[in-house]
Copies of this chain bind each other. A is one copy, B any other.
Amino acid sequence: MNITIAVDCMGGDHGSVVTVPAALAFLSKHPDAGVILVGREEELAPLVKDARAGLKSRLRIHNATQVVGMDEAPTSVRSKKDSSMRVALHLVKHGEAQAAVSAGNTGALVMISRFALKTFPGIDRPAICFALPTIKGHTYALDLGGNVDCTPEHLFQFGVMGTLLASALDHVDRPTVGLLNVGTEEIKGNELTRQAAKLLQASNLNYHGYVEGDDIFKGTTDVVVCDGFTGNVALKTSEGLGKMLSTFLREEFKRGPLTMLIGLIAMPLLRRFRNRANPDRYNGAVLLGLRGGVVLKSHGSANAFAFEQALARAADAVANDLIRRIRDRMDTMMGANGENV
């Protein structure tokens, strides 16, 4: 086994009924990977007892007696030393796994991974970075909720981290970076964006300038940078729109016998469309800026298919040697104490 992933099996809206089947599906598609299922042993053991021997040999259960609640304040999580989330991250810290995946409480995941795995010099807090589909391919957008109150320096750091991620995973030499704003003209925006623009302009990043909301899905730049509040709202608003449109489409096909027949005829085509647009396919956001290992945040409401994608993304990041690549390029991007050079 080249890659071992620690899975927080208790996190998310659904817990082990989703995470364990997802882990088994992941193992069956990744013959070189292993998983450590972290959570209450008595709950997890029955879920894997009927798994094929070929999978069983590549998984083990690591007992963790506590669970971080989805609504718990990150600070109250500190006392839970034996939570599945914390234990999974510590397995990465101690080198037993190269990556951890959790669908649990985002704030807690950011806080615990920052303590356990540390950030790179010059990076204050890990950012949540999502590869969003675009007309052209995909765009790395960050921060999507890890940092709701940002300084211009944070936005600059997101630009650095996004650049490093795009270089590492997509082997793009100088990824373009856009700064999310309410207009592309220089006068537009708030104080935060105007100050961040100055930092990005003065840096050696391939800074494109301001981009607007619709540039994300257009794929105007390889990386889109914003504060975590705006990013989170934009992401969830898109999610809501996607659901509304698919409801509308379904309703049209269910109007009567004729439209249902048309739906049947169009099924393979609609299925291809759905596969392409399905947000579950893109599930799994990287906690970017950690130097101790790869951490992936799955959507809290992920189903087994979606959670499996987050595991696959984690494996991909490990296979691409993400952390080492980021570390190697970090020196050329940031000074020793994190200043832009």
Give the shortest distance, in Å, between A175 (CB) and chain B (any CB). 19
CB pair A214–B191 under 8 Å, yes or no, is: no
* CB-CB contacts below 8 Å: A296-323 with B: none
A335 at the interface (CB under 8 A from B): no
The answer to whether A237 touches B213 (Cβ under 8 A) is yes
> Taking the complex as formed, is A198 at the interface, i.e. its CB lies under 8 A from any CB of chain B?
no
A252 and B238 contact, CB distance less than 8 A:
no
Interface centre among A71, A181, A230, A235 (most CB of B within 10 A): A230
Q: Given known contacts A145-B182, A212-B236, A252-B269, what 6 new A-B pairs fall within 8 Å (CB)?
A: A71-B185, A214-B243, A226-B233, A237-B237, A248-B273, A266-B266
Among A149, A216, A237, A241, the one with the most B-chain Cβ atoms within 10 Å of its Cβ is A237
Query: CB of A39 within 8 A of chain B?
Result: no
Question: Which among A185, A215, A259 has the highest number of chain B CB atoms within 10 Å?
Answer: A185
Task: Compute how far the CA of A245 lies from the CA of B275 in the bound complex, rounded to whole angstroms.
Answer: 12
A53 within 8 A of B: no
Do B244 and A241 touch across chains, with their CB atoms under 8 A apart?
no
* A17 → B minimal CB distance (Å): 23
Residue of B nearest to A71 (CB): B185
Rounded to whole Å, the gap between the CB of A150 and the closest CB of chain B is: 9
Residues in B neighbouring A255, C-beta threshold 8 A: 269
B234-A213 in contact (CB<8A): yes
Question: How near does chain B come to A195, taking the closest CB pair, in angstroms?
Answer: 13
Kindly identify which residue among B73, B135, B190, B236 contacts A213, using a CB–CB cutoff of 8 Å. Answer: B236
* Proximity string of chain A (248-286) to chain B, C-beta cutoff 8 Å, 1 when within and 0 when not: 110011010001001001100110110011000000000
**For the complex formed by this chain, how many copies does it contain in all?**
2
Is A180 an interface position by the 8 A CB rule? yes
A262: chain B residues at CB < 8 Å are: 265-266, 269
Q: Does A133 contact B (CB under 8 A)?
A: yes
User: How many of chain A's residues touch chain B, expressed as a range?
Assistant: 35 or more
> Which residues from chain B contact A145 at a C-beta distance below 8 Å?
182
Q: How far is the CB of A128 from chain B (nearest CB, A)?
A: 11
Q: Does A247 contact B (CB under 8 A)?
A: yes
A-B contact pairs, 9 of them (CB 8 A): A182-B229, A182-B232, A213-B233, A213-B240, A217-B243, A229-B230, A233-B234, A248-B276, A265-B266
* Inter-chain contact B237/A217, CB cutoff 8 Å: yes
Chain B: minimal CB distance from A111 (Å): 13
> Which among B180, B185, B237, B272 is the interface contact of A238 at CB below 8 angstroms?
B237
- What is the CB-to-nearest-CB distance from A46 to chain B, in angstroms, rounded to a whole number? 32
**Most chain B CB atoms below 10 A, which of A216, A228, A233:** A233
